[in-house]
Structure 1
């Protein structure tokens, strides 16, 4: 396995984990379990932070003149990262909305 393939798989792993935790957080909030939802969001943030760190290292290497081999796997990994970040941000908003709805109904 090449270095760029290994990096790509790490990006996919952390991004996918982050996305999954974000979806679990939405489900927990839907069930009124806001503490659990926040814990899952924190896990999502940490996973996506790890993925973003990997991406930043690639960008820094390229800025320093190292030529990164761009292949379909790396592009796929970048898609996973962007999707994970988007899902996490939407999850944060949905959880806030759910919390507000529950407060208005006097159920939190």
Structure 2
């Protein structure tokens, strides 16, 4: 059975958005490692915006299902959900790692 065009489009939207978010989070850690905390914060905020876009696209599918529209199983959607969860974890870890680098920097310059 072919996957509907809607599910494909939403899945690719999720994958693209959260993939960008994950990249932003990784770049934020790199900035913090170099002591660029302003750059790290900007990248985390950009990552949060991208993640939110992916999350909102996913939530749209959930709302349709809650309204009684049946959902179809699609491997591409499962992959998109996996990427969504991965990006969420990267965001949590990036915030913590940036915080640790900031504390280390503060200790060095205290």
Number of residues paired by the alignment? 107
Q: What runs of 5+ residues in structure 1 fail to find an aligned partner?
A: none
Which residue is 2:50 aligned to? 47
1:29 aligns with 2:32: yes
TM-score relative to the length of structure 2: 0.94
Match of 1:10 in 2: 13
- How far the C-alpha of 1:55 sits from its partner, in A, is 1.1
Q: What is the CA RMSD across the aligned residues, in angstroms?
A: 1.1
Segments of 4+ in structure 1 off by > 6 A? none
Q: Hey, what's the Cα distance between the residues in 1 that align with 2:51 and 2:89?
A: 10
Match of 1:84 in 2: 87
The yes-or-no answer on 1:66 pairing with 2:69 is: yes
Corresponding residue for 1:103?
106
Which structure 2 segments of 5+ residues have no match? none
Q: Provide Cα deviations, 1:23-42, integer angstroms capped at 9, x if missing partner.
A: 00000000000000000000
- Per the TM alignment, residue 63 of structure 1 is displaced from its structure 2 partner at its CA by 0.5
